[in-house]
Amino acid sequence: MSDRHQPQTDAATPGVPPEALLVTVAPTGAETTKADCPQLPTTLAELVTAAQECEAAGAAMVHVHIRDDDHRPSLDAQRLADTVAALHAETDLVVQLSTGGSVHDPLDQRLKVLDAAPDSCSLTMGTTNFGDDVFSNPWPFVCDLYQLSQERQVVPEFELFDLGHVAALTRLLKTYGLPYGGKVHCDFVMGVPGGMPGTADALVAGVAALPPEVTSWGATGIGRTTLAVGLAALSKGGHLRVGMEDVLTLARGVPVDNNRQLVERAVAMGALAQRRPMTTTEARTLLGTRPRP
């Protein structure tokens, strides 16, 4: 079999051994309410505590959505800047701000997220039906956000909700070149109602279609697809994202109490696959982020 479409994994990144597993935690998200899930970390203090616990459990990156004083999703510039500063002060995690926001956030505000100078930002590669809503990512917006990330030296994590998003990533890299730092990391976000299913078959198809510029990839399965996607990602040599943004139960009828539980489970799954949690230093090398402030 030709390796033309084999993903280049961490083995290709000097300083990051192949057994190192990047565990990203997405502790909050934008779509679950505090009323529905009081244990969701929505205040800055709760977020920092969750991040510290997850770092101790083996996470190396945090994917961040913030909330306002009423626990509603927010893209407030000062809050975002304060959040990045607090996470840098209190943890060594790679801080990735969501530019996806909530399904209701306007595109111009989502571009301004980069003003908070995170290490990394999410960058979704196309519009997706998202349950009963639409997660809007028109091509011109994707291009604007990508070029802004290059200018601001923020490393994007390309979010792939569908196979078409992989083709869009190929087109983006061809048109605008490599991200700041020269590495290309993407994350398959699977099992969203409207996106690709959270199955091993879908992951295999997505990985096979990745452009050769990709240097690392991870996956997350929404809801009950979390285990199937996580196990499939490990068996394909990928990395893992977990967290209460993506799943709120540990098993049918068993609620997640905190994000640390999900990171611990990801680390345990990785251990079965003879992978060990990546250090934050290795994660910065893998992703090509700026040196820590």
- The binding site for Zn ion (CB under 5 A) comprises 98
11, 216 Cβ separation under 8 angstroms: no
What radius of gyration, in Å, describes the C-alpha atoms of the chain?
A: 17
If the CB atoms of residues 98 and 259 are measured against Zn ion, the closer one turns out to be: 98
| Of the residues 10, 159, 162, 264, which one makes contact with ligand KMH according to CB under 6 A | 159
In three-state secondary structure terms, 291 is coil
Residue nearest to ligand KMH (CB): 100
Residue span binding ligand KMH (CB under 6 A) among the ranges 95-103, 139-147, 178-186, 213-221: 95-103
Regarding 98 and contact with ligand KMH (CB under 6 A), the answer is yes
Rounded to the nearest whole angstrom, what is the least distance from the CB of residue 123 to ligand KMH in the complex? 7
Regarding 248 and contact with ligand KMH (CB under 6 A), the answer is no
* Euclidean distance between CA atoms 284 and 267, whole angstroms: 19
N-term to C-term CA, the chain: 44
If the CB atoms of residues 197 and 212 are measured against ligand KMH, the closer one turns out to be: 197
Residue span binding ligand KMH (CB under 6 A) among the ranges 26-34, 48-56, 167-175, 236-244: 26-34
Angstrom distances, CA of residue 23 to CA of 89, 93, 139: 20, 11, 29
Residue span binding ligand KMH (CB under 6 A) among the ranges 35-43, 54-62, 122-130, 194-202: 122-130
By C-alpha distance, which of 59, 136, 132 is closest to 101? 136
By C-alpha distance, which of 153, 216, 207, 210 is closest to 183? 216
Residue span binding ligand KMH (CB under 6 A) among the ranges 3-11, 23-31, 247-255, 263-271: 23-31
* Euclidean distance between CA atoms 233 and 217, whole angstroms: 9
Rounded to the nearest whole angstrom, what is the least distance from the CB of residue 26 to ligand KMH in the complex? 8
Torsion of CA 119, 123, 129, 134, to 10 degrees: 80
Residues that bind ligand KMH (CB under 6 A): 29-31, 98-100, 102-103, 122, 124, 130, 135, 159
